[in-house]
Structure 1
Amino acid sequence: MPEHSSNGGWDVVVTPWHLDEYIPAFPIPADATEVGRPILPSGPVSARMNVLHRVTADTVARAAKPLVLSGDCPTSRAAVAALQLRHDGLAVLWLDAHGDFNTPVISTSGYLGGMALAMLTGGTPGLFDDTLGLRPVPETSVVLADARDLDPAERDALAASRVRRIPADPAAITAALGELGPVPVYVHLDIDVIDGTQLPGARFPSGPGPSLAQIEDCLAAARADIVGAYLACAWLPEHAGDEASRQTVTRLAAALGATLTWDEPAGS
């Protein structure tokens, strides 16, 4: 991987997995570095994910300014652990239709994808081993935008936390980041934050929400502070490489200042 790419300063890293499920159709931009496919052990999904996250963290750590494309949200723990090697006091801007603040204790489904933000803030002790060296991000350094679709216990947990909740609005994002002060920012965006009518084939559509154009404006509002970014491209596997899916990811990356190019036409 180059020390620093010419792609607006971004190094694009792709990890085409949803939890421990490899997604063959996941689109890989022409200039991206794909995370290697490790041999995953048998056993619990979390143990298998931990191996994948270790490989992902090693790849992201070699990127000067990583833009990670992934099929899920929990792999963000690998991206944040890698960024913490270079940046102290990292803040997190999390744009998502969901709160991802469930834990094994309060989750009604046990779905690990719904715990991704809690993983970053230290809310899931014992779920993974500590080989990543991830330091819990203080709740006061987390800004959660949108989160319109919450489980009841998750809503209570967020209300009791010190996570800052805001609408997915450029002005609100600018204000929230300004209140954090001059700190390095990691931005995480799950595509389901976008209005469900604009996301055919999404794994977890969440109905009416901000438009793609509004989310582009949100990313543009945060750009100056971002040292790393992550796009959770959570489409159903058969839709991951659709032309509409690629166009959405391309537009979101462009809002961050990165130009994605593709070797083959969508659907080929």
Structure 2
Amino acid sequence: MIFVPYHLDERRDGLADDLPAGPTTTVTADLPDGDIWARLATLYGNVADAVAKEPVPIVISGDCTVSLGVMAGLQRQGNPQEAVGVVWFDAHGDVQTLETTTSGYIGGMPLRLLVGYRPELIAERLGLRPVPQERAVLADARDLDPAEVEFLAGATLMRYDVNAIRPPDGKFLVHVDLDVVDPAELPGLMFPVDGGPTASALLAAVGALVATGRVAGLDVACTWRPDGGNARRRDLIAALIKALQSQRNAP
């Protein structure tokens, strides 16, 4: 596991209470003062360095924006002409922009940043190439703001229910924000959204993706406040890791 104990630029070591046992590399950074994008680029540059060293990395962090560093690291591993895709499990769309957000929360923007929104903010600092929209899949996203609905209506990015995903061709990153799971089953979420799939349904969907043999890495966002650990959350993370390890161990 590569563990990134941050929510945006705020360090949260308590997230480690939900990690299953196993070898872990912890990524940290001495963050500069000032601009949030410079701070995140410093941290995610270190994430990219760690990811680039792993053939099929597993990254656990406190938010979805860490995916920018994960994808930058994966892109360093492969042929620049072969774009790594992404399957994005989330209760939210994560396709806000600075121009459309009403909250100003950067954690609502990472998928939009991955597919090419304003690369000068952080992508260019990471050497991150945009993921073509047709190689991006958004799973669930049951809580969308009007601006996100408008963007997705005109985008070539694909949307599916969790139980009916068609992954992009070639290699792809599996990103899982655990708030995709019904909050009645998974406690302590920062941004819970009623309804959603069960943990079992999520694991079945991820298992089907792993069975393709084309998963380039797993990126799990633990979007909750540290509260001393929770067995349900720990077991779900462990099951996701085990699913990806089955691809690693396949002949």
Q: In the alignment, which residue of structure 1 is the partner of 2:176?
A: 189
Question: Please, which of 41, 45, 48 is the counterpart of residue 57 of structure 1?
Answer: 48
Q: In the alignment, which residue of structure 1 is the partner of 2:4?
A: 15
Q: In the alignment, which residue of structure 2 is the partner of 1:140?
A: 134
Aligned partners of 1:118 and 1:124 also within 8 Å: no
**CA distance in structure 2 between the aligned counterparts of 1:127 and 1:98, rounded to whole angstroms:** 22
Q: In the alignment, which residue of structure 2 is the partner of 1:264?
A: none
**CA distance in structure 2 between the aligned counterparts of 1:208 and 1:237, rounded to whole angstroms:** 23
Q: 1:100 to 1:90 in 2, by over 3 A?
A: same
**CA distance in structure 2 between the aligned counterparts of 1:71 and 1:102, rounded to whole angstroms:** 19
Q: Tell me the CA shift for residue 43 of structure 1.
A: 0.8
**CA distance in structure 1 between the aligned counterparts of 2:47 and 2:235, rounded to whole angstroms:** 25
Question: Please, which of 69, 79, 89 is the counterpart of residue 83 of structure 2?
Answer: 89
Does 2:157 align with 1:163? yes
Does 2:111 align with 1:104? no
Aligned partners of 1:199 and 1:205 also within 8 Å: no
Gapped runs of 5+ residues in structure 2? 247-251
Q: In the alignment, which residue of structure 2 is the partner of 1:125?
A: 119
Q: CA RMSD in A?
A: 1.4
Q: Tell me the CA shift for residue 238 of structure 1.
A: 2.3
Does 2:216 align with 1:251? no
SS of residue in 2 equivalent to 1:75: helix
**CA distance in structure 2 between the aligned counterparts of 1:210 and 1:245, rounded to whole angstroms:** 15
Q: In the alignment, which residue of structure 1 is the partner of 2:204?
A: 217
Q: Tell me the CA shift for residue 129 of structure 1.
A: 6.1
**CA distance in structure 2 between the aligned counterparts of 1:110 and 1:49, rounded to whole angstroms:** 15
Q: In the alignment, which residue of structure 1 is the partner of 2:14?
A: 25
Aligned partners of 2:83 and 2:132 also within 8 Å: no
Q: In the alignment, which residue of structure 1 is the partner of 2:68?
A: 77
**CA distance in structure 1 between the aligned counterparts of 2:230 and 2:118, rounded to whole angstroms:** 34
**CA distance in structure 2 between the aligned counterparts of 1:93 and 1:129, rounded to whole angstroms:** 19
**CA distance in structure 2 between the aligned counterparts of 1:21 and 1:145, rounded to whole angstroms:** 27
Q: Tell me the CA shift for residue 121 of structure 1.
A: 0.5
Amino acid at match of 1:235: W
Aligned residues: 238
Q: Tell me the CA shift for residue 125 of structure 1.
A: 3.3
Q: Tell me the CA shift for residue 253 of structure 1.
A: 1.9
Question: Please, which of 201, 219, 226 is the counterpart of residue 215 of structure 2?
Answer: 226
TM-score, normalised to structure 2, is 0.90
Aligned partners of 2:31 and 2:43 also within 8 Å: yes
**CA distance in structure 1 between the aligned counterparts of 2:83 and 2:32, rounded to whole angstroms:** 34
Aligned partners of 1:217 and 1:255 also within 8 Å: no
Q: In the alignment, which residue of structure 1 is the partner of 2:249?
A: none
CA deviation profile, 1:85-105 (whole Å, cap 9, x unmatched): 123221111111111000111
Q: Tell me the CA shift for residue 54 of structure 1.
A: 0.7
Question: Please, which of 167, 175, 186 is the counterpart of residue 199 of structure 1?
Answer: 186
TM-score, normalised to structure 1, is 0.85
Q: Tell me the CA shift for residue 163 of structure 1.
A: 0.5
Aligned partners of 1:104 and 1:124 also within 8 Å: no
Amino acid at match of 2:24: A
Segments of 4+ moved more than 3 angstroms: none
**CA distance in structure 1 between the aligned counterparts of 2:145 and 2:64, rounded to whole angstroms:** 17
**CA distance in structure 1 between the aligned counterparts of 2:142 and 2:101, rounded to whole angstroms:** 17
Amino acid at match of 1:31: P
**CA distance in structure 1 between the aligned counterparts of 2:30 and 2:244, rounded to whole angstroms:** 33
Amino acid at match of 1:155: V
